[in-house]
Amino acid sequence: KNRKGQIKLKLPLSGRLDDPQFNLTSLIAGSLRNIATNAASSPFSFASSLISGVSGGEKLRYIEFRDGRAALTDTAKKKLETVRTLLYKRPKLNLVLTGYAAPEKDRKILTHKMLEKKIRKTRQEDLEQKNDKEPPELENIELTPKQYRKYLRYVYKKEVRTKEHAQTPRGERLTEKEMKEKIKQHLTVEEAQLRQLAKQRMNNVKNFMLQDDRIPGKRIFTSRAESLSPPDPGGFTPAQVQLDLQ
């Protein structure tokens, strides 16, 4: 139904009026069955075909994210703005959100973030020991290239050499890249962290949708995925939120 409570459908009918087998009721019923099938199998294509100014079809269903991140991209926002219009013009439709992760790629970025956090945390603890005042918040810690290498070595010593009881051979000095790779081997991104990332993505989509006062919160639902990555990513990156119309 549109905002006036009307249902407007275009029913393609064809047949010969002089045919004894011609039956208008059967033609209409068959056309309605086809429409119902299309609405169930491709809801976004079906819904957007009924509304002028709304395009995108089934692509609207897939909201992609950058690896290891939950922030909405500009492309994602444009898709969601279109979905907002669709929901506004069809007030009886509800939206169900399901968040997913791309395990391998998301783990790689999250591991890198864990390493960077450890480096800054080490700097923060060092400042706390040397100064009486409170050190800056972790996200406000700034490091010069020289300081970065210094605290990277501290983290390397703690995460690698201590755990492996290994010593760097005399005369050998690992590069930053080599130290980082060895540290990352000791960092673990648990499945729970990936599920939390998928949840953050889903919540960010929901919050963006609800920034439009025309869309009440009772029309947006969230669903916990059974699998970490989507069974059918639709040709898009698995780091996504899938939308379903009900």
Q: pLDDT tens digits, residue range 130-169?
A: 876 788 899 899 999 999 999 999 999 988 877 665 565 5
Q: How confident is the model at residue 16 (pLDDT cuts 50, 70, 90)?
A: low
Q: What value does the mean pLDDT take over residues 69-74? A: 97
* More confidently predicted of 63 and 167: 63
pLDDT over 90 (residue 15): no
Q: What value does the mean pLDDT take over residues 211-218? A: 93
**This prediction's pTM:** 0.76
Sign of the torsion angle spanned by Cα atoms 8, 14, 15, 17: positive
Q: How confident is the model at residue 205 (pLDDT cuts 50, 70, 90)?
A: very high
Q: How confident is the model at residue 99 (pLDDT cuts 50, 70, 90)?
A: very high
Percent of the chain whose predicted confidence (pLDDT) is above 90: 59
CA dist 87 and 93 (Å) reads 6
Read off the pLDDT of residues 21-49 as tens digits, 9 standing for 90 and up. Answer: 666 566 555 554 554 455 444 557 655 65
Q: Which stretches of the chain are assigned E, i.e. beta strand?
A: 62-64, 95-99, 220-223, 240-245
pLDDT over 90 (residue 14): no
CA dist 75 and 89 (Å) reads 22
End-to-end CA distance of the chain: 13
| Residue 214 bridge partners (DSSP) | none
